[in-house]
Amino acid sequence: MQVLVGLEEELFLLNKMGFLSRFSEILLHRLVKDLSGDRDRLEKARKYLMGIQWEPNPSQIEYVTRPMGFSELEEAVKFSRKLIARAAIRTNQLIYVGSVHPVESNPLPLNGTHVNVSISSNGTPSNKLLAAIYMHIRNHLPEIIAVTANSPIMNGRIHGLGSARMMYSRVLKPSGPVIMRKRPVSFIPWRERSKTRYGVIFRKMKLFKSELVFDPTGDRLKEIAIRGPSTNIPEDIHTTKRSSRVEVRGVDNQATEEYLLDTALIIAGLAYEAAVLVGKGVKIRERKNLQRNRSRAIRHGIEAEFILDGGERVKARDSFLLMMDRIKEYIDSIGSMSSGLREGVPEIIRIGMPEIVDQEKFSKLEEKNRVVATIRLSGGRDGISLTGERFHVTGEVKGLLFPEYSLKFREENGIVRKFDRIEKRYWLLSKEGYIPLMESDDVIKAITPIGHMAKILEKLGES
């Protein structure tokens, strides 16, 4: 059996203070310049990478590896991250390998990892095998989501062990079971016209020509998808049979290469198990409670409780370890694991949560958008005018409430893997300038900007 794995990983670009930097175009321009003058690195890039993709948000960038044996994948991932980080440094930026920016993702932009896996004995997986791999991995998505969820902080607040990306992403819709249907003609809906100009596509009239359908409109933006010419995905119609694969998109970014590679290995192991089951003539059906378990995994991550087919409850970690026991032999035949995933310890637990320093009282007001505030200061203090001069202020002040963030993180060769501390300090923008706020200050009144409009009219009536 030949097992090929390909990875797509989206990355954030940061400035030196840890906030999003919107210059992916300048970074890629730099990267092309660097590669043009470095033959060795260019050859390596050609060997490992299909390319580097744009994302809709200019503070994101995505590298796409070629399909390769698992032994080569580690080198490919390390090389790709380094390559982009090097160009980032040269354009005064850094890369962050997380799924969610702790402050600026609200909820978008979000990053993810796509694991593509293909198994075959002759380089081209059959439709039957593809369908089995898809169904088998899909059945284990709750376990995969639970152990890879890695988006602990969002919008400056703790999100927990669940996957914020899976919860808020617009392009990770739940997948359906796959069906095989024979049809010599395909209909492409009008709204999919950006993917292919054709509305109707005529296929060859082969006796056994069948199509794998997991979404009636051929939408590939699912947490898991079958890719290749045998599907009804409009973008894949003109691809070759050799590109047939299963793409798992419901995986959060893993900060360390060990966790990233082990995640890919587990998915490859499941694919291998599916191939063995097909060989034994086992038909893979959808697990009971799959969607409920999936939702639980998204919400609670490793702390989720799954419902087994018989109705018993099991901890996500135990369910994952049971799965691992079963597929261990297949994993061992592909590669070896080196991260905490062997023991069912997700990266989010291993590397720990960042520390958040917040002024809760003001944070709650901001969350409700009650930012037009009157505050009684607990003591006199210095404010900063618009042009940087100090001014002294005491008593009641009125203005606009907003947070100032400062981030502490570790950077290694242009790569940020984790934020250690997120400090949120509230200020009030008054007519005189900026006034720092303290927890001991009293909030006299706080309304929303639109509420402020209504208040102005009410006061006009009274006067």
Partner 1 sequence: MSNIETFPELIKLHGLLSVIEDDLADGRAPDERILKRAIKRIRKIRKDENMSLLLTSSIPLSFLLEDEGSEAALKEMRKAIERTIIMSKFRGIRSKIGLNRPTRYVMTYPIEKAAKAFEFIEGIKPVVLTAPHSSPPLQDKRITAIAREIARISGAHLLLSKVSRIFVDYNRYSSRIYPARVFLERVILEKRIKGIIDLHSSNRLEYDVEIGCFSGQTIPRSLLKTLEECLKSNGVKYTKEGRFGGDIVWFHSILPDAWGVQVEISTNARENRVVKALINFVERL
Q: Name the site residues for partner 1 (rule: CB under 8 A).
A: 15-17, 19, 21-23, 26, 91-93, 103-104, 106, 108, 366, 369, 371-372, 384-388, 398-400, 402-406, 427, 429-431, 433-434, 448-463
| HEC secondary structure over 240-300 | CHHHCEEEEEEECCCCCHHHHHHHHHHHHHHHHHHHHHHHCCCCCCCCCCHHHHHHHHHHH
CA angle, residues 8, 335, 347, in degrees to nearest 5: 60
Long-range CB contact pairs, 194-202, < 8 A, 24+: 195/234, 195/235, 196/234, 196/235, 196/237, 198/234, 198/237, 201/237
Spatial separation of the C-alpha atoms in residues 354 and 340, rounded to whole Å = 19
Closest distance between partner 1 and the C-beta of residue 353, in Å? 21
Closest distance between partner 1 and the C-beta of residue 252, in Å? 21
Pick between residue 16 and residue 183 the one whose CB is nearest to partner 1: 16
Pick between residue 114 and residue 424 the one whose CB is nearest to partner 1: 424
Pick between residue 69 and residue 449 the one whose CB is nearest to partner 1: 449
Closest distance between partner 1 and the C-beta of residue 388, in Å? 4
Closest distance between partner 1 and the C-beta of residue 403, in Å? 6
Pick between residue 349 and residue 373 the one whose CB is nearest to partner 1: 373
Pick between residue 198 and residue 391 the one whose CB is nearest to partner 1: 391
Pick between residue 19 and residue 187 the one whose CB is nearest to partner 1: 19
Pick between residue 187 and residue 405 the one whose CB is nearest to partner 1: 405
Closest distance between partner 1 and the C-beta of residue 92, in Å? 5
Token code pair at residue 61: 């960038």
Sign, Cα dihedral of 166, 132, 325, 337: negative
Closest distance between partner 1 and the C-beta of residue 422, in Å? 12
Closest distance between partner 1 and the C-beta of residue 49, in Å? 25
Place of tokens 């097992």: 3
Closest distance between partner 1 and the C-beta of residue 368, in Å? 11
Helix (H) or strand (E) holding 10: strand 2-14
Spatial separation of the C-alpha atoms in residues 165 and 109, rounded to whole Å = 9
Pick between residue 23 and residue 70 the one whose CB is nearest to partner 1: 23
Place of tokens 């994948």: 73
Pick between residue 229 and residue 436 the one whose CB is nearest to partner 1: 436
Pick between residue 36 and residue 463 the one whose CB is nearest to partner 1: 463
Decide if 5 contacts 264 (C-beta within 8 A): yes
Pick between residue 59 and residue 150 the one whose CB is nearest to partner 1: 59
Closest distance between partner 1 and the C-beta of residue 60, in Å? 14
Long-range CB contact pairs, 188-197, < 8 A, 24+: 188/218, 188/234, 189/217, 192/217, 192/218, 192/219, 192/234, 195/234, 195/235, 196/234, 196/235, 196/237
Place of tokens 């100090």: 390
Q: Which of 258, 242, 208 lies closest to 119 in space, CA to CA?
A: 242
Q: How far is CA 255 from the centre of its chain?
A: 11
Spatial separation of the C-alpha atoms in residues 412 and 256, rounded to whole Å = 12
Token code pair at residue 35: 């590669």
Closest distance between partner 1 and the C-beta of residue 350, in Å? 28
Cα–Cα distances (Å) from 283 to 193, 324, 326, in that order, read 35, 21, 18
Closest distance between partner 1 and the C-beta of residue 432, in Å? 10
